[in-house]
Amino acid sequence: MPLIDEIQRAIKSDKTIFGYRESIKFIKTDTPKLIIIVKNMPDNMRNEIEQNAKVSEVKVEVFDGTSKELGLVCGKPFPITTITIKG
């Protein structure tokens, strides 16, 4: 899966921000390269991410899995709903 490869490359190069709140903060102050959200993300959170991404003209990718699965892909012992990859 190319999305998983991109996530793991970004983690290795220390260019990732984990979590919904931290991602929103970063999107409002800087322009990320990519935003990755999980498919089971609540609608209100998804809408806020997508609106901020649209303003910043940043692509939003949907990870085809749950937040627990995304956490495992990232090597974290907790669920992750949002990953922002710095530009």
Give me the number of domains the chain comprises.
Answer: 1
- Burial of 14 (C-beta count, 10 Å sphere; 0-12/13-18/19+): exposed
Return the half-sphere exposure (C-beta side, CA atoms, 13 A cut-off) of residue 83. 31
Tokens 């997508």 -> residue: 50
* 11-30 pLDDT, tens digit each: 999 999 999 999 999 999 99
Q: What percent of the chain is predicted at pLDDT more than 90?
A: 91
How many whole angstroms separate alpha carbon 57 and alpha carbon 71? Answer: 26
Spatial CB neighbours of 1, under 8 Å, sequence gap ≥ 6: none
Indicate which CATH number applies to the domain containing 25: 3.30.1330.30
* 49-86 pLDDT, tens digit each: 999 999 989 999 999 999 999 999 999 999 999 999 99
Q: Which residue range(s) make up the domain with 76?
A: 2-86
